[in-house]
Chain A
Amino acid sequence: MDFWTEIPSLGKRDLRDLKKGIDSAFKGFSRKYGDGIEAFFDPLYYFLVWLEKLLIAAPWPIILILVAGLSYLGSRSWRLSVGSVLSFIVIGYFGMWKDMMATISLISVATVICIAIGIPIGILMSRYDRVQAAITPILDLMQTIPIFVYLLPVVMLLGIGRVPGLIAVCVYALPPIIRLTNLGIRLVDKEILEAADAFGSSYRQKLFEVQIPLALPNIFAGVNQTIMMALAMVVIASMIGVKGLGMPVLQSIQNQYLTLGLMNGLAIVALAIIFDRVSQRYGKRLQAHRYGKDHE
């Protein structure tokens, strides 16, 4: 009768030995190769430190001019540009300037890395069904696995701080850009591709001159989602010692400092909205421009 009530299981001792075995194998790996792996990521680490120090050291009016300029360049909207500058001023006024700069440096580097890795993978997935079949479950895993499950091994390898934080952010923020690049390219009209074939275009020409341009709205939606998810990870990244707006949020959660939590939380939201609107407008503008040219 035991068969029906007790699910067959590895004995307690075997299970323990299995876990201990894997743990100690990982620790051995970390002892042996940890320094090498850390050295591999060092350029990235020093770049992050450099960027953060640069942003913090830069005089605030220059940052504001940059913010105004970049957001105008991206969106071509005075209202958005003024709104961004105002939110930066308010955030600075409430004493969150340094934390904001630290967060911006991490998020922008993370976004650039995610785009640089994500778009090529998305293109590969759209080209080969097998690659898609292999990568989709990995993306599912990246988006659902509880963060600390992979964060602690990463911290054991690389130490606490920016690089593991960046990796955590990218693991979570990478999937949307990959998925949407893949989807966008796959959704390009078959007839248009046939036309391109008929004109005798090579794969390369088809990809860069037909598929990617037509997939841009989706790709930009992916970039946008990636930025949003990266910002959502700011607090988690702080849990392994990344400086920024996430630290005060952690502090407020532990101590029920409602206002502190709210202020820093809203600062993250403000950053998210600015990044979101600017990148969306930029994406749209890119499209409008192309359609405009096509119609001419």
Chain B
Amino acid sequence: MKKILFSAVAAAALTTFASSASAGCGQISMADMNWPSATLMANVDKIILEEGYGCEIEMVAGATTTTFASMNEKGQPDVAAELWINAVREPLFAAMDEGRLHSARKMPITDLGEGWWVPDYTLAKHPELKTVLDILARPDLFPAKEDPSKGEFIGCPAGWGCQLSNINLFRAFEMEKKGWILIDPGSQAGLDASMAKAVERGDNWFGYYWAPTAPVGRYKMQMMDFGVPFAGADNWDGCIAKAEQDCADPKPSSWTESEVHTVVTTNFKEQASEAMDYFSKRIYPGPVMGQMLVYMDDNQADGGDAAIEFLLSHEDVWTKWVTPEVAAKVKASL
């Protein structure tokens, strides 16, 4: 009897809590992840949800795997704005199937991902370069210092996962035979500096990078279409992404798609159903994100400063994500 009474009280308490929460959205914890685009998005979300939807947001610092583990195990934090899921794919999909976690928005930023890039002026000067295949036919445009008769392709820093993929794609496209040298920049600092040096002087540069990042925004780098389709997950996961000796016969392929989601907990979904609508519309165009990252870099702005800058200077972007009333509230708060 006691037990039944207790559970009835508990259920009542829960329902009152739930209903009061949905009225005001309530307390939400949000992951503030440790790279610029994620912290910017988290801070924009914080302002919009607090001012526009009446939530109370608490920010929790974290990295991809730690944040995901905490969301998966403890249901906290409630929101991860920019979760790169390749590293946590299996447990994430398991949690989604069980209904504990939900994707509020797939690909919250456009033009994101990894690939091979060149500066925009190279393409302007050589409009015939439409795909990676076209570039591979022209090693003379990217002469290597070591041996100017060959082209220079800047790969991924030693020890990163992408190092293997770049080495294997280098083999798959038979780039050595086509007159290319693969350069290992050694570290991200080396990779960034080699790009910066080339672009500052107006030289051509061809190498691996990823977006959204400040260098891509600053130097107006263009991700090249590979000119070949994605050759299947077997080829990628079973060969390209493995060590050279475990990948006997790599096939040319475009880069595997990087999937990024805004992930929320069930708790959030029920508590803040209106905010779910906001998330579903919230897409940052790649160039806008690039501009914002350059702004953050130049001004050494933290996520909070950058979020205000974004809301002030890109009204046309974010007002489409919310209802006019919410937009008015957010604007008034700035």
**Which A residues form the contact surface with B (CB < 8 A)?**
16, 19-20, 27, 30-31, 34-35, 45, 49, 148, 151-152, 155-157, 159-161, 238-243, 247-248, 250-255
Complex CA–CA separation, A48 to B145 (angstroms) = 12
Residue of chain B at shortest CB distance from A19: B300
B159, B187, B194, B299: the one contacting A159 at CB < 8 Å is B194
CB contacts (< 8 Å) of B187 on chain A: these are 239-240, 250
Complex CA–CA separation, A247 to B145 (angstroms) = 20
B146, B160, B185: the one contacting A240 at CB < 8 Å is B185
B8 part of interface (Cβ distance < 8 Å): no
B298 part of interface (Cβ distance < 8 Å): yes
CB contacts (< 8 Å) of A19 on chain B: these are 300
B201 part of interface (Cβ distance < 8 Å): yes
CB contacts (< 8 Å) of A251 on chain B: these are 158-159, 163
Complex CA–CA separation, A238 to B184 (angstroms) = 9
**Does B200 contact A30, Cβ atoms closer than 8 Å?**
yes
Complex CA–CA separation, A242 to B298 (angstroms) = 29
| Min CB gap B171→A, angstroms | 18
Complex CA–CA separation, A45 to B148 (angstroms) = 13
Residues of A contacting B: mostly = helix
Complex CA–CA separation, A145 to B183 (angstroms) = 28
B24 part of interface (Cβ distance < 8 Å): no
| Min CB gap A202→B, angstroms | 47
**Does A155 contact B158, Cβ atoms closer than 8 Å?**
no
| Min CB gap B63→A, angstroms | 15
Pick from B146, B160, B193, B299 the residue with the most CB of A within 10 Å: B193
A35 and B158 in contact, given A159-B194, A241-B184 (Cβ under 8 angstroms): no
B197 part of interface (Cβ distance < 8 Å): yes
Complex CA–CA separation, A240 to B299 (angstroms) = 26
| Min CB gap B4→A, angstroms | 53
- Ordered by A's residue number, 11 sampled pairs between the chains whose C-beta atoms are within 8 Å are A30-B200, A30-B201, A34-B201, A45-B145, A155-B193, A238-B186, A240-B186, A247-B184, A250-B187, A254-B160, A255-B159
Complex CA–CA separation, A159 to B189 (angstroms) = 12
| Min CB gap A279→B, angstroms | 28
B190 part of interface (Cβ distance < 8 Å): yes
Considering only residues 28-59 of chain B, those with a C-beta below 8 Å from chain A are: none
A34 and B186 in contact, given A16-B300, A20-B298, A49-B146 (Cβ under 8 angstroms): no
B311 part of interface (Cβ distance < 8 Å): no
CB contacts (< 8 Å) of A30 on chain B: these are 197, 200-201
CB contacts (< 8 Å) of B141 on chain A: these are none
A241 and B159 in contact, given A31-B201, A156-B200, A247-B184 (Cβ under 8 angstroms): no
CB contacts (< 8 Å) of B197 on chain A: these are 30, 34, 155-157, 159
Complex CA–CA separation, A106 to B193 (angstroms) = 21
**Does A239 contact B163, Cβ atoms closer than 8 Å?**
no
**Does B200 contact A31, Cβ atoms closer than 8 Å?**
yes
Residue of chain B at shortest CB distance from A13: B299
B196 part of interface (Cβ distance < 8 Å): yes
| Min CB gap A2→B, angstroms | 23
CB contacts (< 8 Å) of B194 on chain A: these are 155, 159-160, 241
Residue of chain A at shortest CB distance from B157: A250
A254 and B201 in contact, given A240-B185, A240-B189 (Cβ under 8 angstroms): no
CB contacts (< 8 Å) of B190 on chain A: these are 155, 160, 239-241
Complex CA–CA separation, A253 to B163 (angstroms) = 14
Identify 14 new A-B residue pairs, CB closer than 8 A, beyond the known A161-B183, A242-B186.
A31-B200, A34-B197, A35-B201, A45-B145, A155-B197, A161-B145, A239-B189, A240-B186, A241-B184, A243-B184, A250-B157, A250-B159, A251-B158, A254-B160
CB contacts (< 8 Å) of B185 on chain A: these are 160, 240-241
Complex CA–CA separation, A16 to B160 (angstroms) = 32
CB contacts (< 8 Å) of A159 on chain B: these are 145, 194, 197
**Does A156 contact B184, Cβ atoms closer than 8 Å?**
no
Residue of chain A at shortest CB distance from B301: A16
CB contacts (< 8 Å) of A151 on chain B: these are 189
B146, B158, B298, B300: the one contacting A247 at CB < 8 Å is B158
Residue of chain B at shortest CB distance from A240: B190
Complex CA–CA separation, A207 to B200 (angstroms) = 49
Complex CA–CA separation, A45 to B160 (angstroms) = 27
| Min CB gap B168→A, angstroms | 15
Complex CA–CA separation, A30 to B194 (angstroms) = 13
CB contacts (< 8 Å) of A239 on chain B: these are 186-187, 189-190
Residue of chain A at shortest CB distance from B159: A254
**Does A160 contact B159, Cβ atoms closer than 8 Å?**
no
**Does B200 contact A152, Cβ atoms closer than 8 Å?**
no
| Min CB gap A51→B, angstroms | 13
